Amino acid sequence: RMLQLVLESAPAATNSVQEEDRSGELMGIVNWFAVHPTSMNSTNQLISGDNKGYASYLMEKEYNEDRMQIGNEKQHKFVAAFASTNLGDVSPNTAGPKCLDSGLPCDPITSTCHGHNEMCVAFGPGRDMFESTEIIGKKQYDKAVELLNNVLSNKDQTRMNAGQIKSRHSFIDMRGLNVTLENGDMVQTCHAAIGYGFAAGTMDGHGAFDFKQGSNSSNPFWNMVGGFLSKPSKHQTKCHAPKPILLNTGYIHLPYDWDPNTVPISLFQINNLFILNVPGEFTTMAGRRLRKAMHQILSAAGYHDAKVTIAGISNTYTHYITTHEEYQGQRYEAASTLYGPFTLDAYLQEFSRLMHDLLEDRPSLTDPPPKDAAKKQLALLPDVEVDMIGVGYKFGSVVKNTKDSYPTSGTEIAKVIFRSSNPRSNPKIQDTFLTVEQLDAKGKWHVWLTDADWDTKYIWQGGMTYLGTSFAEIHW
């Protein structure tokens, strides 16, 4: 189910975020739909917004007046944000994982083929990753347009009157946080750690070295490797059980913390819409339990028609959050649940506290914020010192030209190669690396496609192997 928020200067709708300026012009939407943007698999080496980016592209193309006016912000007012929610265990590759060598389904527990994870890859629903991206993105776009049209045509009756906009925010130190369960038992979260199943990857992106999902036992060799960085104590090992610890990230601080020990959580209220901002990827069931807990609090406070959504991967990244039951299986998501088996219970407790604070108009307690590590960040990619072009050549000169003509059926791809600079020399913010132009009957050229279009590809070739020279290969 997609939740889409629509904000207007007039009364707005709860099933969609639509924003209008004072003139009543539509400015944008924000929606949340639980699916991973992993239709493009690891063989893709081009920058891509994946299925959510494609959905955004379709909608912004539809609702902007003249999307070809490069750099003209007035012509690009409408922004379509297809945001993440509790998508932790939701793959867009609906044909499922299959073994590359046999075509048979992968082992359902370990996601391996003949004991190896590298051969297990998920596919579908399209013939290749590009078509799959289009299909999944188009489905999200179609639903978003339907919700938006319902609002614009007044068919959606769940409109909000102008009212309250409130928020609460807290930093939570997750190291040994005391958590009270529903049955009254007191438990604690753990210092952050990553399990063996994390290194196995998923069917949308496999790991290496024959790690397997569902691993509840460790390996002496990999224990030794991880121990060079930080060896988990007996208390830490017991705290994370049944997770076998591969990387004891909560105790690794060089050159800075490998995983956050203190996490931000926040809550927004826009009338009867409540947005829970979580610092990780909640699984389907973990998200359901969080929303259910918030609905119970809201219902008791008189908000019987409240809408609750989860804004995932907000403000920092703490990998995944599973239920206690899912944690026992130690598949990828559970192995990536940083703070132990009661991580979800901690978030339920702390978001409940924030919700009560918001509803009762009291300030929220907070732990100290984490240290600012911005000045410590390491960049392993060297700067572009110089762009070479070669003796006797000019930037922009054609190396390989297109054909003189192509079939009107559009079944053949046009390709051209130019001598260029390194694209990192100028990131072309609010601009494009390429334009495909069309000549009209009056002899005037018009921009037809840019690098933002799904029908274009910009492939850069260069670097040290080319002695500092660069080539731009353009497809459309």
Marked catalytic residue, from 16, 39, 56, 91: 91
For the chain, counts of helices (H) and of strands (E): 9, 26
Decide if 251 contacts 258 (C-beta within 8 A): no
What residue type is 387 in one-letter code?
D
**Considering only CA atoms, which of 266, 272, 268 is closest in space to residue 15?**
272
DSSP annotation string for 271-284: TTEEEEE-SSEE-H
Residues 6 or more apart whose CB falls under 8 angstroms from that of 37 comprise: 49, 50, 51, 52, 53, 84, 92
42 belongs to the catalytic site: no
**Considering only CA atoms, which of 417, 424, 414 is closest in space to residue 459?**
417
**Considering only CA atoms, which of 31, 49, 29 is closest in space to residue 39?**
49
Residues 6 or more apart whose CB falls under 8 angstroms from that of 134 comprise: 54, 126, 454
Decide if 120 contacts 103 (C-beta within 8 A): no
Q: How far apart are CA 316 and CA 293, in angstroms?
A: 23
Residues 6 or more apart whose CB falls under 8 angstroms from that of 169 comprise: 264, 265, 266, 267, 354, 364, 366
**Considering only CA atoms, which of 418, 423, 286 is closest in space to residue 345?**
286
Residues 6 or more apart whose CB falls under 8 angstroms from that of 323 comprise: 283, 285, 286, 289, 344
Catalytic residues: 91
